[in-house]
Amino acid sequence: MTTDVFATTLKQKIAARWPERAESIRAGLEDTASPEKTILLLGRLDDLLAPPQRRWLFFRPRPQEDMRQIKNARHIIVPHRALANRLREHLSDLNAQIHVVGHGPVTDIAPQPANTRKITREVYTKGRPYFVAHAGGRQDENTLPLVRGFQRFRKLQNEDVCLLLLGSRAGQSRTLRRLTSGGDIFFSRPEAPREYARILGSSRALLNLSDHPAFPLDILDAWHAEVPVVSHQQDILGGAGALVPSVSAERIAEALQQLVHTPFFASGLVENGRARREAFRWAPVLERVGELFGRLPGA
């Protein structure tokens, strides 16, 4: 199971702020503590709600155990509304109260200087400017329309912009591997946070179109790297990104064209991102958690 960054980070901060609460907090589904804990921190669901035939890809334990842990919690703390909505949608018999508290930064990312951006392009995309996106793998239904949207964009304009997908090409579907066999799409798997920061900060824009309900940390990273964002996550963007109302090749191509051909639009998104990132800090998250603790003296 992929590490639940929200759960593990927030539990550490709670333990530092309220040591007496540490034993009543369960930091995600991979926590080894007793499942009958009072409060569950949940930042991602991974394949818990995926179709059964896909679960083997993740080498995960029986989903029934995870469901039991969720249903045994009295309160579930999540970072954003999309995850809360997914829980309510799939678990109609859920007894726990769900609390949306927000998220804070977990990586130290800053804008990259011009020489770093130039070197990064030489290393990863043969010197060409690029958009960057996470390759979600077989389980992410939106990776394929993202690639098709980029290819449509390339047919409609002459600027030499390519797409850099963060992930393994071998882990993608056969259809997507075939689509990415040309010279305009590259793959890379950053091995260290510093490498990821250089790649993100040297891009023309971040494309976040994943259908995963986890908090989109890459959007928060892009705001700190001061690069434009293209996404369909309206509740997170808040005007600090180009909103794609539907994940279709046509809409994606339109958004990319607007970024490339309207410089003041791209710079405006960066400026909005600087302001928007202030809404995602750990201090207000802890304030909301503290308010919950205040209402639960026996938790």
Q: How far is CA 149 from CA 110, 146, 251, 254, in A?
A: 28, 5, 7, 9
H-helix segments, the chain: 5-17, 63-72, 81-90, 114-125, 143-156, 174-179, 193-201, 217-225, 234-237, 249-261, 263-276, 282-295
Q: Considering the chain, what percentage of its residues have pLDDT values greater than 90?
A: 50
Residue 288's φ and ψ, nearest 5 degrees, are -65, -40
The structural domains of the chain, ordered by start, are: 5-104+281-295 (no CATH), 114-279 (3.40.50.2000)
pLDDT(245) > 90: no
How sure is the predictor about 251, in pLDDT bands with cuts at 50, 70 and 90? very high
Tell me the sheet residues that pair with 49.
none
What is the structure's pLDDT at 58? 45
- 8 Å CB contact between 269 and 277: no
Three-class SS of residue 16? helix
Q: How many CB atoms lie within 10 A of CB 139?
A: 19
Nearest to 185 by CA among 249, 258, 126: 126
What is the structure's pLDDT at 255? 94
Max avg pLDDT among 128-132, 149-153, 258-262: 128-132
Decide: residue 258, CB within 10 A, 0-12 exposed, 13-18 middle, 19+ buried: middle
Question: Position 246: which residue type?
Answer: S
- Residue 290 to residue 299: CA distance in whole angstroms: 12
Overall average pLDDT of the 188-214 stretch: 91
Nearest to 226 by CA among 203, 252, 192: 203
What's the DSSP call for residue 170?
G
* Cα torsion 273, 258, 190, 147: sign: positive
Question: Residue 73: which residues within 8 A CB-CB, separation 6 or more?
Answer: 26, 37, 38, 39, 40, 96
Q: What is the DSSP string of 37-88?
A: -SEEE-S--TTTTS-GGGGGGGT---HHHHHHHHHH-SEEEESSHHHHHHHH
pLDDT(130) > 80: yes
* Lowest-confidence pick of 109-123, 134-148, 159-173: 134-148
How sure is the predictor about 94, in pLDDT bands with cuts at 50, 70 and 90? confident
Tell me the sheet residues that pair with 238.
none
What confidence tens digit (pLDDT) does each residue in 152-190 have? 999 888 888 999 999 877 766 677 777 776 788 898 899
- Residue 291 to residue 276: CA distance in whole angstroms: 23
